[in-house]
Structure 1
Amino acid sequence: MKHQLHPLEINPKTGEPFLRLAAPHQNIILTPPRQGDQSVLIQHMNDPAIYEWIEGPPTPYLPEHADFWIQFVKGESDATLEYLRKSAKDFPNGPLQFVDANPVRYLREVKENGADVLIGDVNFRRSPFEEVLDEGERKRLQEDNARKQAGDPTIQYAVGDWLAASHHGRGIMTAAIGLLMTAWGIPRMGVHHVVAHTFAGNIGSNRVFEKNGFVNRGLFDNGKTVRGEKKVMTLLEWTKNETHY
């Protein structure tokens, strides 16, 4: 009988759940966010090789921004894990319950001495429908999508990610997204439809998604401005019935 945390492994020393990437990246794990991640997060979010390609972080990225973010994402992860632990009591003989998020999202590189270092983030969330140009229609779709119960195959999800510049070009994010899709998104969230919205020119990120079965639908302009700069975006789309997953 599979436990409600399946397929997460549990660190025997800390009790923390994790997913491990397959070889040759077996020294990379996905874990929940941790209190204490702030200092490394500040370093990454102040690196233009990262922040110029993602929408969220303010610049400069200050300790109060990191404190707010870690509290927010850790709260999301903790809530999902608590629901699954409660489900283990409520459904001791199954079935596995659908959830609305991936509670392990922070990529960490495990060193030879057992310590690990935060190197990235990958996360599923309900889609913001960036590709819908009409603002009113976008809001309607967001609200309709948000009302759906976890596991509903008609939910549109979006995936976002970043990876430390020191680890670019090694296939790590390609492997991480593939693992999350097959091990968690599809079986534990009921994911059937995922989009990614990248800034125009982010060829590396587009390639990562395309290697995982996403189809590049081309550029779109919804009027977005990020940190004072107008951004044209690329839509990449994955649907369960069109891929090998």
Structure 2
Amino acid sequence: MTQEEIDSDNVEYERLAAIHNAARRRWLTPTIQLTPWLPSDRDALVPYLNMPEIYSYISGPPFPYLPSDADAWIRGRPYEMTKNGTPLSHCIRDMAKGGKPIGSVYVSADSDDNLEGDGVGYWLSPEYHGQGIMTKALKLMLQEVSIKEVGKRKITGHAHVGNWASRRTMEKAGFVNYPELETITIKDGKEIPTWTLRLILTEEDLNQREVVEEAAPLPSLVQ
């Protein structure tokens, strides 16, 4: 790659990063917010993805997860946005703790014809489990990004067999498990049986689907 090509790539990255980082913030609770992932989140991301409670149940990241892995992943986020500039991966932050990252949620912008490569993904710090945060984050991202903005009507999700918490999160968002589509995920050289769930929406379903409202933040957290 020539220096001119490198400079051009850097300019394009900076353009996309500016759009990505300025994306709208959404409130899940009076203290929990959905925002873009930022370069400054690297040091928070690394310990989470080395936690067995998180790493064991997600398919993609390497282990051990290194700062260089976090840098590469975060740098790639501006290349995964909708045509309108909405990030497909959002950080879940506790704004009462200075915007501390506590989780992540991802939705796909793939065509409805590409259900094999489609997917949703998420994880949440164990200390925040059992509060409905992940379910609302997934529902809101599906509603505002996948359904309204991208126009998707068919969405796929996966969970390792036995990971009932993840499966129930998707089921609460309207996904249905398809036993005949159970597949195998290769992780650390091992074969892991994996459920395949799908959310398939008709126009009637859309009219009857619960509307997820954003929360009003605590006045002290509004800048």
The TM-score by the shorter chain falls in which range?
0.7 to 0.9
Q: 1:201-232 deviations in whole A, cap 9, x for unaligned?
A: 11001111111111111275544320122110
Code of the residue aligned with 1:121 in structure 2: it is: S
- 1:123 to 1:15, Cα distance in 2 relative to 1, 3 A: closer
Question: Matches of 1:126 and 1:189 in 2, distance apart?
Answer: 6
Ranges in structure 2 where 5+ consecutive residues have no aligned partner: 1-20, 210-223
Question: Matches of 2:193 and 2:180 in 1, distance apart?
Answer: 7
2:104 equivalent in structure 1: 121
The yes-or-no answer on 1:199 pairing with 2:160 is yes
- 1:69 to 1:110, Cα distance in 2 relative to 1, 3 A: same
1:110 equivalent in structure 2: 95
| 131, 138, 152: which one aligns with 1:170 | 131
1:53 equivalent in structure 2: 57
Q: Is the 8 A contact 1:34 1:74 kept in 2?
A: no
Deviation at 1:16, TM superposition (A): 5.2
TM norm structure 1: 0.68
1:40 equivalent in structure 2: 44
Q: Is the 8 A contact 1:17 1:104 kept in 2?
A: no
1:30 equivalent in structure 2: 34
Q: Secondary structure at the match of 1:84?
A: coil
Code of the residue aligned with 2:31 in structure 1: it is: N
**Structure 1 stretch 176-185 or stretch 192-201: which is displaced more?**
176-185
Deviation at 1:155, TM superposition (A): 5.2
The yes-or-no answer on 1:236 pairing with 2:182 is no
- 1:184 to 1:224, Cα distance in 2 relative to 1, 3 A: closer
Percent sequence identity is 31
2:17 equivalent in structure 1: none
Question: Matches of 1:226 and 1:192 in 2, distance apart?
Answer: 30
Q: 1:36-72 deviations in whole A, cap 9, x for unaligned?
A: 1111000100000000000111111111111111111
Larger helix percent: 2
Q: Secondary structure at the match of 1:197?
A: strand
Question: Matches of 2:174 and 2:23 in 1, distance apart?
Answer: 30
1:190 equivalent in structure 2: 151
Ranges in structure 1 where 5+ consecutive residues have no aligned partner: 1-13, 86-100, 128-144, 146-152
The yes-or-no answer on 1:68 pairing with 2:66 is no
Q: Is the 8 A contact 1:174 1:209 kept in 2?
A: yes
Code of the residue aligned with 2:119 in structure 1: it is: A
Code of the residue aligned with 2:54 in structure 1: it is: I
TM norm structure 2: 0.74
Deviation at 1:20, TM superposition (A): 1.4
Q: Is the 8 A contact 2:34 2:92 kept in 1?
A: yes
Deviation at 1:84, TM superposition (A): 3.1
Q: RMSD across aligned C-alpha pairs, in angstroms?
A: 2.4
Question: Matches of 2:156 and 2:109 in 1, distance apart?
Answer: 10
Deviation at 1:192, TM superposition (A): 0.3
Deviation at 1:236, TM superposition (A): 1.0
Q: How many residues end up aligned between the 2 structures?
A: 184
The yes-or-no answer on 1:226 pairing with 2:179 is no
